[in-house]
Amino acid sequence: MKTFVLFFVTLLVDGVFGYTDEMKSVSVMEGDSVTLYTDLTEIQKADLILWTFGSESTRIAQINRLVNKISIYDDVLDGRFRDRLKLNKQTGSLTITNTTTEHAGPYGFLQIIGGKEVTPKKFSIIVSVHLPVPVISRNSSQCSSPSGSSVSRCVLLCSVVNVGHVTLSWYKGNSLLSSISVSDLSISLSLPLEVEYQDKNSYSCVLNNPISNQTQHLDITQLCQPCSADGETPDQERHSQNNTFVEKDEIKSVSAMVGETVTLHTDVTEIQENELIRWKFADSKVYKLAEFFVIAKWDKTNNEEYLHDDKKFKDRLHLDHNTGSLIITNVTPKHYGHYKLHITSEGRKISKTFNLVAHVPKKRQSTILRRETCP
């Protein structure tokens, strides 16, 4: 008995896994159970079987046939295996329940028969977390004019956060365009894709690990905007697709002092039932490169109103539901910039642009009276 104990201790010191035999990889989803099979029908001939975990070959379970005892060491390694290990008495297979990423790593199975060590089995468990759905967003837009025609190009980003051991890929139909992989835990990934608005191909962004995948399909018309005649890339709206401007878009300058209320007039006497009013704003000083975003909408047909409520415009925007005119109260310097009006209906689209600038009061000219004295 003493000889066996000394032999067993020597095995632990020298390291159980100093062999070149093949390691079997096993994947499991976080929260599920996984079983490491010994491929044995029975272990009655073995004096001892031993399960270890990690690079240090920490003992986590064993069956000692000499004393007919089963031992589970679930308090080791800060208790990460507590109440999670189950050992099959007949085959020696090990089951880990309710897995977490802490249970990922190398496992080893060792048999000792008649004081001799049998070639061990080695396993590697990969624990995959539940994958989030990738998010596709527009990174930038630009308009170019090849051969005299205006073309809108979008740079899109597919992103995921707090993921590990995954691959993020762009697909065009079933063809892989690009991909990026990561083996670390809790990292953020982004993968760009450039497309044209007129592109009719099917694109999708796929996040996958060895067990599962999540797919986000790209809607080009929602994220990419067509170029207008002047090269601007406006926000795409379902009411304005395939429409053209029927009224020339000229920039009208309007001035207002800080603290005043200003009204941007549509010059329309009454909004019709099928017309949609949209107001956009761009604070860029360079009009042609301005990035517009919607700050107000009025849909008379559905009686729906939208007013942008960020810090800049909060409680300062009002819409005249009869004319569609935009009223801005308590003007601040942040409100100076370009405002674009779109009136959209079936078959036509009217566009107006206003440049709201600071009002500089004219200085009064003082008259200097010279008092003439008589000689």
pTM over 0.85: no
**Nearest alpha carbon to residue 192 among 214, 177, 182:** 177
Predicted pLDDT of residue 207: 92
Predicted pLDDT of residue 84: 92
Tell me the CA end-to-end span of the chain in Å, nearest whole number: 141
SS3 for the chain, per residue? CHHHHHHHHHHHHHCCCCCCCCEEEEEEECCCCEEECCCCCCCCCCCEEEEEECCCCEEEEEEECCCCEEEECCCCHHHCCCCCEEECCCCCCEEECCCCHHHCEEEEEEEEECCEEEEEEEEEEEEECCCCCCEEEEEEEEEECHHHCCEEEEEEEEEEEEECCEEEEEEECCEEEEEEEECCCCEEEEEEEEEECCCCCCEEEEEECCCCEEEEECCHHHHCCCCCCCCCCCCCCCCCCCCCEEECCCEEEEEECCCCCEEECCCCCCCCCCCEEEEEEECCCCHHHCCCEEEEEEECCCCEEEECCCCCCCCCEEECCCCCCEEECCCCHHHCEEEEEEEEECCEEEEEEEEEEECCCCCCCCCCCCCCCCC
Sort residue 43 into left (φ over 0), alpha (ψ -120 to 50) or beta: alpha
Q: What is the pLDDT along the chain (375 residues), one digit of tens a residue?
A: 333 333 333 343 333 444 446 788 888 888 889 999 988 877 767 778 899 998 888 999 988 887 888 899 988 888 899 999 999 888 889 999 999 888 989 999 988 877 777 778 899 988 877 888 888 887 655 554 444 445 567 788 888 887 777 889 999 999 999 988 877 666 677 888 888 877 888 999 999 887 788 999 988 877 776 655 444 444 433 333 333 333 445 678 888 888 899 999 988 888 887 888 999 888 654 444 456 788 999 888 888 888 988 888 888 999 998 889 999 999 988 888 888 898 887 656 778 888 888 876 655 544 444 444 444
Predicted pLDDT of residue 58: 92
Predicted pLDDT of residue 231: 46
Which token pair is 122? 């080695």
Task: Name every residue whose Cβ is closer than 8 Å to that of residue 93 and which is 6 or more positions away in sequence.
Answer: 35, 36, 37, 38, 87
Q: Are 68 and 54 contacting, i.e. CB atoms less than 8 angstroms apart?
A: no
